[in-house]
């Protein structure tokens, strides 16, 4: 439950080495006009293969992509 609160507060979920060793996954919700989550956007990558990309930057990019998709479908 604490992890869900973190996800709600940050607007992004993080899976670091949870499914595949060395892989970081970040995901953000896509919302419809009523604010309901109808889809998600996620990215999975090897931080060791992208040393110039910080987790904070990738997280921001994923949230922004989700926000743009939400806006395109009439969401918030």
Q: What is the mean pLDDT of residues 41-53?
A: 91
Helix (H, G, I), strand (E, B) or coil at 47: helix
Provide the number of structural domains found in the chain.
1
Which residues, 6 or more positions from 14, have their beta carbon under 8 angstroms from its beta carbon? 24, 25, 26, 55, 59
pTM recorded for the entire structure:
0.86
Q: Where are the alpha helices (DSSP H) in 1-76?
A: 2-10, 55-72
**CATH code, domain with 22:** 3.30.450.40
**pLDDT tens-digit profile of 2-12?**
888 989 899 99
Nearest-angstrom CA–CA distance, 12 and 24: 13
Expressed as residue numbers, the domain containing 23 is: 2-72
User: According to the model, what pLDDT value does residue 1 have?
Assistant: 81
Locate 5 and state its tokens: 């609160």
Query: What percent of the chain is modeled with pLDDT above 90?
Result: 71
């Amino acid at each position: 439950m604490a992890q869900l609160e973190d996800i709600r507060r940050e607007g992004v979920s993080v899976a670091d080495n949870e499914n595949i060793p060395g892989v970081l996954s970040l995901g953000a919700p896509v919302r419809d006009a009523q604010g309901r989550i109808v889809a998600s956007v996620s990215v999975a990558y090897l931080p060791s293969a992208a040393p110039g990309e910080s987790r904070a930057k990738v997280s921001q990019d994923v949230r922004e992509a989700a926000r743009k998709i939400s806006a395109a479908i009439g969401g918030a």
